[in-house]
Structure 1
Amino acid sequence: MKRTEFRFFDRLRVRWAEIDAQKIVFNAHYLMYFDTAVAGYWRALALPYAQTMESLGGDLYVRKATVEYHGSARYDDQLEIGMRCGRIGNSSLLFEGAVFRGDEPLINGELVYVFADPHTQTSRPVPQSLRDVLQGFEAGQGMVDVRVGGWEELGREASAIRTAVFVEEQRIPAEMEWDVADASCVHAVAYNRFGLPLATGRLLQHVPGVAKIGRMAVSQSLRGSGVGRHVLEALMKAARARGDREVLLHAQSSAAPFYSRAGFAPRGPEFEEAGIPHIEMVRAL
């Protein structure tokens, strides 16, 4: 297999615990690499796996796994695991994977899953909605739809995401999360192909010509998938459209690298908001 045959790659670095007495990656670990890549593949589809399977009334069970070895990875190698959905049958899915060190293919693998009733483990037809998402991704289609609008239109979904992330996960007091600005802000919510809301953020006017982005939140299982970047870009686009020349935000310090990759630069010292370290970051529009 060639790298060009894959749209999705999962990246890893070989750990000491994964090599054997021959000082190469122990053969069984490649199945773990493929399984980890499959989990990343679902995130690339913007599908939280457990929630998606529950909504479809089924689950995926491995029927067959094969690995073909062409070369060996060694400690500290940086590897990329390509993963794709190669075929969809009536009730089965074939995932094809390959392990690359740079452009060098080391390992090929196939995982055959059967879509089945989770209680009886009897096979069921692959739902058309899931089939459409898989085929759409492999055809290069986008997996996320970002809607921009007011609180009356998007507030219910935005509120649910922010409650889960800020109030329940980060334990920010609810009275600090909600304010009167929500009613007048521009909001953005990202949805997957099943219409499930995944991420949100809001845009307000800081001073004339300067926009402020805040309340950026991504559902836990979709972090690192790129869905937050879609929301950020939609809010910056809305700011440009109304004539703002600069955008600022108060980033949680742990999220500063995410905003740096989007072109934001830190300004000023670190400070605390709601007991969490933050840094102000800015970007020209």
Structure 2
Amino acid sequence: MTTRRDFRFFDTLRVRWAEVDMQKIVFNGHYLMYFDTAVAGYWRAMALPYHETMALLQGDLYVRKATLEYHASAHYEDRLDVGLRCARIGNSSMQFMGAVFRGDELLVSGELVYVFADPATQTSQPVPAQLRAALDAFERGEPVLDVRTGTWDELGREAQALRAAVFVDEQKIPAELEWDAADANAVHAVAYNRFGMALGTGRLLEHSPGVAKIGRMAVRHDMRGAGIGAAILEALVTVARERGDGEVLLHAQRSAEGFYRRQGFAVRGEPFDEAGIEHITMARAVAPPVASAA
């Protein structure tokens, strides 16, 4: 019997009004949409932007088989968890097993078989070794990110591209406000996935003696919600701790306040405007590094 323990990845959703049929239960066909949506979340959890990854691998995935088995019904407003795992990788195909749970109750189980193929001819191709390794590593619970810290000379190319995309292009912050002389002396962090793609960045400055300041936190729009921002934040906090800072503060956009609260930051003072966007100062105490035993 399939249980929640069979999965390390879950995509959570709430049943919407439009998904319920005249029998007042979720229409059977919508479960395929639930699984397909979970597949998108699975790629995000692996820190792999789907379209860019497929372009790099010079292929794409096509559904060869999709089967569902119904055990019980979901209703309007039910909160559902869709579990998904890569169960087997063949020469050119990969099998995903899925299950929809309401709490611990199994509602629907399913199987999705994808074939890796040339997108121009839709003829099957061997699953690339790099993709095979990424899927196997994810299912084993290995880290999906490599967060590197360093100087602007070392990481500036990727950090600049990410910040330009998020702050200048997406948020419409004037470019002259984004770039400053502080980059030259800051510690920068960039998160890379297993394919070497840069997904997020941030920087650490000395605000005052013993107090560090984190800023310029930016994550690709298609990778948000996958833990990348939290990983970058912790990498920068670790740098602050190791150099002896006792506190880290930042200016958070109000839309990101909840994220920083979950990372242990607390609001300090009143909201203010910065580059035309409402911000709030937030701070977090930093415990000193633990001394190693002699």
TM-score, normalised with respect to structure 1: 0.99
- Give the corresponding residue for 1:75: 76
* Superposition map of 1:1-285 within 5 A: 1-285=2-286
SS of the residue 1:64 aligns to? strand
**Residues of 2 paired with 1:265 and 1:11: CA distance?**
28
Cα distance in 2 for residues equivalent to 1:218 and 1:183: 21
State the Cα deviation string for residues 244-275 of structure 1 (Å, max 9, x = none): 11111011111111111101111111111111
1:163 & 1:88 partners in 2: Cα distance?
38
Q: Which amino acid aligns with 2:61?
A: L
Letter in 1 for 2:106: P
Q: Deviations over 1:16-36 (max 9, x none)?
A: 111111111110010010000
Instruction: Quote the Cα distance in structure 2 between the aligned partners of 1:177 and 1:41.
Output: 33
Deviation at 1:222, TM superposition (A): 0.4
Comparing 47-56 and 259-268, the one that deviates more = 259-268
CA distance in 2, matches of 1:36, 1:256: 27
Letter paired with 2:91: N
Aligned CA RMSD, in angstroms, stands at 0.6
Matching residue's letter, 1:59: D
Per-residue displacement from partner, 1:24-63 (whole Å, max 9, x unpaired)? 1110010010000000000010000000000000000111
Secondary structure at the counterpart of residue 84 of structure 1: strand
Structure 2 Cα separation of the partners of residues 118 and 256 of structure 1: 42
- Structure 1: how far apart are the matches of 2:18 and 2:259? 30
Question: Which SS does the other structure have where 2:269 is aligned?
Answer: coil
Q: Distance in 2 between the 1:75 and 1:82 partners?
A: 20
Aligned partner letter, 1:82: G
Q: What does the per-residue CA deviation read over 1:58-84, in whole Å, with 9 as the maximum and x for residues that have no partner?
A: 000111110100000111111100011
> How many pairs are equivalent?
285
Q: Distance in 1 between matches of 2:33 and 2:274?
A: 40
Distance 1:138 1:199 in 2: 23
* Structure 2 SS opposite 1:221: helix
- Residues 100-151 of structure 1, C-alpha deviation per residue, up to 9 Å, x if partnerless? 1111111101111110111111110000000000000001100000001111
Distance (Å, rounded) in 2 between the aligned partners of 1:151 and 1:27: 53
Alpha-carbon distance in structure 2 between the residues aligned to 1:272 and 1:27: 49
Q: Give the CA deviation at 1:171.
A: 1.0
Letter in 2 for 1:275: G
Q: State the SS of the aligned residue for 1:225.
A: coil
